[in-house]
Structure 1
Amino acid sequence: MSEHPPQTLLKELCNQRGLDIPKMVELFERTADEVIGKGAKNPTCSERTAKRWRAGGVNPASLSPDTRRVLEAMFSHRVTHLFAPPPQPDPHAPAFDLEHEIDMTARDAQEDASAMAAASVSDTSLDQLTDDVMTLAREYASIAPAQAFHRGRVLQTQLQDLRDRTQVPAQQQRLLVLLGQATALLAASAFDLGAFDSARRLARSADLYGETSRFDPLRAYCDGILAYIAYFTGMPADAVAKARRAQTYGGLGDVARRRLLAIEARAHGYLGDVQSAHQAIRMSEEVESGARDELHDGIGGEFGFTVERLAMSSSSTALLVHDPAQAERSARKALDLIQQRPADRRSTHVLGGAAADLAMARLFVNDVEGAAEALLPLWDIPADQRVTGVLARTGQIQHFLTQPSFRGAVLPGELRGRVEEFTRTATAHQLTGPALLQLEA
């Protein structure tokens, strides 16, 4: 006994597409979202309703306009035709219905494209976040580290949200790189605030983003931060190892290598390895291959390493190896270079660090008046921009001025009190540990 033919065209189309009642209900809801887009106010279709529609005997005029629109979008037929009996096949028509096959192919393609679009994010949004990360990196030196941390945290949250929304490989790769850059800036600001444990964790997280995205310049930058942290927490040998490891990554430009050699030189100085310290300083000043990379050169800013920052770092290394003459020359060079930049582009970190190094170099030769003059730019640095590197240097000065040879003298006492007040009133003071790398005459 043969099966009865479908009572409606709607049921026949469902049979052709393999749409049972649950699948028809699911397709109705999905199409309603696409065609009507009223959320909770979209028309609905229960399994009972779907079964009644397929059976026939429904007056199309009883349906709401939105329901009719959804059904017509689903099946590419007028509702009056869908609820009518299916047309009788033409015995002379070809067995293969080309028009129907084309229609089905087009609808399948549309559904697949819609699903892919829903699993991607706007390239415009990615472009804007790329600009935002770059802007933060380039403005970093002239804003307070707490402000930089807040802005970096907002960027990190936005980037994580987009990463969860896209399945497009190219967008995933781009977001991994941006997340790594934003997290590295968070690590830098945490370090500048004296939160060394958190800075270390953030730097390692940024390094993982760099490893996953195969972006070696970011990994080298993160190793540099880890080397800084090791240096400032009394582990100079570890700092040397990390700086050297960072130099083994491929694709690094001259700026990256200059930065890492300067960090290595400072760590050698802390270890008392005078020869290696001088060699690393010389190599950092002679890097001139013309190589560039996308991070240290392409973005720059906090990811870069300016000539004045190199000079300041060299002055600190010279102090560690007890070479006050070289320390004064390098500190003066850093201060001269930074004065050539517009006021809103000057790094308070470099300005304060170089001024403190110059003062320390003069104290080494008992020039207290010269030290007081060198410190004049320091007093204008706002409390919220007195970063770890500056506070560590002022801590050295404060400690140096407690030596017996300065006791009872008026100017050393006044200078020591002013340096102590500068450190005490710094916003980051409560996060910063005791001054490290104390220097002795």
Structure 2
Amino acid sequence: MTDSTATPNDQLRSARKATLSPSGSRRPMSRQELADACNAELERRYEAQGRRPRWAGMTEKTIGTLERGEIRWPNEDYRRALCAVLKSDEPSLGLYIDRSASAPKADQQTLGEEPDSSQRQGVGPLAGRPDEYDRGFPFGQDELEWSIDQSADQALIFASAAAAGLDAQSTDDLFSRASDIAQEYASQDRWRTFNRARNLRDVAFEQATRTKRPDNLADLYLLSALNGLLMASAAFDLGRPSGALRLAQGARTLAGLSGHTEAEAWSFGLVATLFNWQNRPKQALVEIERARRLTSSKKELFRILHIKARSCALLGDRGGTEAALDEAQRCLAGADFGSLLHDQIAGEFGFDSARASACAGAAWLHLEDGAAARPHLEAAIAGYEALPQVLRPWAPLTGAQVDLATACVMSRDLEAAEAAFEPVFGLENGRRISTITGRVDSTVRQLRTGYTTDRHARQLGSRIESWSMEFDQRSIGAQW
């Protein structure tokens, strides 16, 4: 059914008209020609990847529906094909997901919908035989799961939206949802994590404008802060450090408004971590001292001091690094229990011994002391690998493996470096994130500068570089 409130997608229409017809007539490409070109692009992609088509194919009607704005977010294959044929990107073509309350109703549709009548079987989502329904399914698994998650989150908010505010059970449900996202952070695709956290944060924002009770507002500010912190971590992994820093700073303010000192201190720690990654250790140390003054939680101090060790190492302060790590161990011995972030929510908000060892190893790498870094990184890898496969965090584990390879290169042990990097060569498609790529670049740099005449080092460096370039291409292909 066509929605009369749909906003025309002039960006897509203009991009089509700016593309010449393949007929050689020098006229703009028609809707049917664009559909045909997209289908040809999809066929090439499917053939190259050995995939079977998931969709019936685009038609002139499909393009018309998109240009009229009746659908703003078609399935992923169609979006990729449109971008390839029109040589543009999704935002430039007016293709986006927008769930904001201020958006036109038609623009809030975030899932692709195949408009061809052959795809509509009977009445209701499960009408028709199962094979007919599967063939006409209008979006991918990730989009389906995200849609379900969004609906569940909105249901929780709506159920709790009474004039008097949130009841205790509703609050527990919302924090349980945030905990799920945090605990699944390690094993989940970062883009999906970002969107899940954003969805829950945004509905909390909306509810905060409607409630008047101070205790409800504090809970909603805290909920918004926690999801903002998850978004910041995911944004950094996705290669957006500037946006990640702003998200973390915003979450820090919300955590302060909530009155939850542990969350506020955790926010300061994340801001400091992001400063470290931007090679701004002096600014990081300012955030760390604020966090220390704010919290008496031994578990949070344990984490904060490991972040401080990296800041000191980036400044070349070996004594400061050693002092921070020694103090962290004393904090661990007297750590308190019952922490909301570290124990109850956990996941990305936890800071266990494996993460601490990886952080300490990275600090020694900043000081270019591979021998000191190796035992910490080996302990981190052992800790991660001791976890069940389903709970094993691939990103921290891979990062520790790359760091161990770098430490071995620094300590002149090329055979150990190659063995440490070997598991990294098997990293799955779509898992190339900034916290890994930066480490890989460091390994190659150490091989190039520390072994200018060593044949084995040149061979290992070339192998890593070749894998890195091939992995980039495979990661791009995995997005199709």
Q: TM-score, normalised by structure 2?
A: 0.61
Matches of 2:278 and 2:288, distance apart in 1: 15
- How far did residue 426 of structure 1 move? 5.1
- Corresponding residue for 2:129? none
For the 8 Å contact 1:244–1:264, the answer to whether it is kept is no
- Corresponding residue for 2:264? 219
- Corresponding residue for 1:271? 315
Is 1:189 aligned to 2:234, yes or no?
Answer: yes
Matches of 2:355 and 2:458, distance apart in 1: 28
- Corresponding residue for 2:416? 370
In the alignment, residue 254 of structure 1 is paired with which amino acid?
A: K
Specify which of 444, 452, 455 is matched with residue 409 of structure 1. Answer: 455
For the 8 Å contact 1:296–1:304, the answer to whether it is kept is yes
Matches of 1:135 and 1:427, distance apart in 2: 32
Matches of 1:349 and 1:214, distance apart in 2: 32
- How far did residue 371 of structure 1 move? 0.7
Is 1:253 aligned to 2:297, yes or no?
Answer: yes
Matches of 1:285 and 1:420, distance apart in 2: 40
Matches of 1:428 and 1:210, distance apart in 2: 39
Q: Describe how 1:258-407 pairs up with structure 2 within 5 A.
A: 258-287=302-331, 288-292=333-337, 293-403=339-449, 405-407=451-453
- How far did residue 148 of structure 1 move? 1.1
- How far did residue 227 of structure 1 move? 1.0
SS of match in other structure, 1:392 = helix
Matches of 1:332 and 1:373, distance apart in 2: 12
Q: Percent identity?
A: 26
Q: Deviations over 1:393-419 (max 9, x none)?
A: 111012122227345725533444424
Report the CA distance shift for 1:338/1:122 in structure 2 as closer, same or farther (over 3 A).
same
SS of match in other structure, 1:167 = coil
Matches of 2:317 and 2:454, distance apart in 1: 35
Q: Which moved more, 1:162-171 or 1:203-212?
A: 162-171
Alignment gaps of 5+ in structure 2: 1-160
- Corresponding residue for 1:88? none
- How far did residue 352 of structure 1 move? 1.3
Is 1:199 aligned to 2:199, yes or no?
Answer: no
Report the CA distance shift for 1:416/1:373 in structure 2 as closer, same or farther (over 3 A).
same
Q: TM-score, normalised by structure 1?
A: 0.66
Matches of 1:387 and 1:284, distance apart in 2: 29
SS of match in other structure, 2:212 = coil
For the 8 Å contact 1:180–1:206, the answer to whether it is kept is yes
The number of residue pairs the alignment matches comes to 314
Q: Which entry has the higher C-alpha Rg, 1 or 2?
A: 1
Matches of 2:460 and 2:260, distance apart in 1: 50
- How far did residue 182 of structure 1 move? 0.8
- How far did residue 201 of structure 1 move? 1.0
Report the CA distance shift for 1:334/1:222 in structure 2 as closer, same or farther (over 3 A).
same
- Corresponding residue for 2:68? none
Matches of 1:428 and 1:268, distance apart in 2: 37
Matches of 1:172 and 1:376, distance apart in 2: 50
- Considering Cα pairs closer than 8 Å and 6+ residues apart, tell me whether 1 or 2 has the greater RCO: 1
